[in-house]
């Protein structure tokens, strides 16, 4: 007989009719699946669910609080995709133009024809570095971008997707910087986070570090299926992810694929704008046409890096065919290492975000988040 884990006090609020979400949130703790977590839902611009509980540290001495920040890992990619989409919306960039038009050095090694949307939908063949580099290279933005610009694709661009877990951030971020002049994280702070009071960061100032949740690493390594060169470069080499500089340097860096930090309501409100015509607090941050264009399918099929059949928009995961975020065919968003996720469903006006600090080994569709999202849809 399995003994239920003690359930910590659950904070926040749930709109009438969505009590099943609260029950699902409590069940995750009762099953011992959580250390600290938060889940937020927005519908038609209104925050209808905001729940948090547990501890922000592994020793269980610090409460997971209303201002606790959690690392988003790859859920950050959805935010980066939105920032690039805003450039397209402003007429400063097009999805179908070659990356090399804004970043001339990128034309090296047979990459002259790779388009912005191909780079954003993981079709560029640059999932990681095959040859050894120092893991600290990732902290040098210009050096990393120069190495990507010089790199030959690992497969013919445009023929398949192969998930770019870290390099996506440098591709999206350098495209953004070349057009806008600011780094993507700076523009996020100045254009969206500060004006709309979103506790959402790519590049976390030292003054905010004390609010960060401490991670409990996954109990096992993810199952990547059949390992190939692209998978190994993306995930499995000693240099596949940033290292050697410590946690503070990691938080401080701007890596728009991997190191966003946020609260669940901030992320849910941003995704909520994408689910409701682009409106955030009475202002349109992205036109409906661009939301549709960003989330439109660019490629579908067996991914060369992830062990799934994937459907990719311009920087966002599409819900089908795996359905990690409810039943909607046109729902889109992103998931992150360890379990975090954010999604937007234009058909129902529903958007949500799940963050936590006890990581699981699931690459996509973490059962804890699925339980919460399924309870939300059952409540509609």
| Residue 274, token pair as written in the block | 């994408």
Q: Which residue in 302, 336, 298 sits closest to 321, CA to CA? A: 302
Model pLDDT, residue 176: 99
Instruction: Give Cα 303 to chain centroid, integer Å.
Output: 18
pTM equals: 0.98
> What's the chain's Rg over C-alpha atoms?
19
| Residues marked as catalytic | 74
Sheet holding 309-312, edge to edge: 11-14, 46-54, 36-43, 350-356, 341-345, 332-335, 317-318, 309-312, 299-302
Model pLDDT, residue 4: 81
Model pLDDT, residue 207: 98
pLDDT one-digit tens code per residue, 209-227: 999 999 999 988 899 999 9
Residue whose token pair is 């234009």: 346
| DSSP codes of every residue in 69-119 | BEEEETTHHHHHHHHHHHHHHTTS--TTSBHHHHSGGGGGGGTTT-BHHHH
pLDDT one-digit tens code per residue, 302-311: 999 999 999 9
Model pLDDT, residue 3: 64
| DSSP codes of every residue in 32-53 | T--SEEEEEEEETTEEEEEEEE
Model pLDDT, residue 1: 45
| Residue 197, token pair as written in the block | 């009071």
In whole angstroms, give the CA distance from residue 340 to residue 338: 6
Q: Which residue ranges in the chain fall short of pLDDT 70? A: 1-3
Residue whose token pair is 């099953």: 31
Q: Which residue in 373, 120, 363, 379 sits closest to 268, CA to CA? A: 373
Model pLDDT, residue 285: 98
Q: How far is CA 253 from CA 171, 261, 267, 304, in A?
A: 15, 11, 19, 28
Pairing verdict, β 332-335 and 341-345: antiparallel
């Amino acid at each position: 007989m399995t003994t239920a884990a003690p359930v910590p006090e659950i904070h926040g609020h749930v709109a009438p009719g969505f009590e099943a979400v609260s029950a699902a949130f409590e069940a995750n703790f009762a099953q011992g699946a959580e250390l600290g977590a938060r889940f937020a839902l927005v519908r038609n611009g209104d925050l209808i669910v905001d729940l948090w509980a547990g501890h922000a540290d592994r020793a269980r001495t610090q409460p997971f609080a209303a201002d606790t920040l959690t690392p988003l890992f790859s859920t950050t990619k959805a935010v980066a995709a939105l920032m690039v989409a805003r450039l397209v919306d402003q007429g400063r960039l097009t999805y179908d133009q070659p990356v090399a038009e804004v970043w001339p050095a990128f034309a090296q090694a047979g990459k002259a024809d790779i388009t912005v949307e191909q780079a954003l939908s993981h079709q560029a063949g640059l999932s990681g570095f095959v040859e050894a580099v120092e893991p600290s290279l990732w902290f040098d933005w210009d050096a990393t971008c120069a190495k990507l610009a010089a790199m030959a694709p690992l497969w013919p661009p445009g023929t398949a997707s192969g998930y770019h877990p870290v390099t996506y951030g440098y591709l999206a971020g350098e495209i953004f910087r070349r057009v806008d002049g600011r780094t993507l994280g700076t523009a996020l702070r100045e254009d969206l986070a500060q004006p709309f009071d979103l506790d959402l960061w790519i590049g976390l100032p030292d003054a905010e570090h004390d609010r960060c949740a401490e991670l409990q690493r996954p109990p096992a390594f993810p199952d990547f299926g059949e390992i190939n060169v692209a998978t190994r470069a993306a995930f499995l080499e000693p240099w596949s992810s940033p290292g050697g500089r410590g946690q503070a340097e990691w938080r401080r860096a701007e890596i728009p694929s991997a190191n966003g930090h946020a609260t669940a309501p901030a992320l849910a409100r941003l995704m909520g704008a994408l689910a409701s015509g682009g409106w955030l607090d009475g202002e349109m941050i992205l036109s409906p046409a661009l939301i549709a264009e960003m989330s439109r399918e660019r490629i579908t099929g067996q991914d060369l890096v992830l062990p799934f059949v994937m459907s990719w928009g311009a920087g966002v995961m599409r819900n089908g065919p795996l359905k990690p975020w409810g039943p909607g065919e046109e729902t889109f968003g992103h998931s992150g290492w360890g379990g975090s996720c954010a999604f937007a469903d234009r058909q129902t006006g529903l958007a949500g975000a799940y963050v936590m600090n006890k990581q699981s080994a699931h690459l996509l569709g973490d059962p804890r988040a699925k339980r919460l999202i399924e309870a939300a849809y059952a409540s509609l």
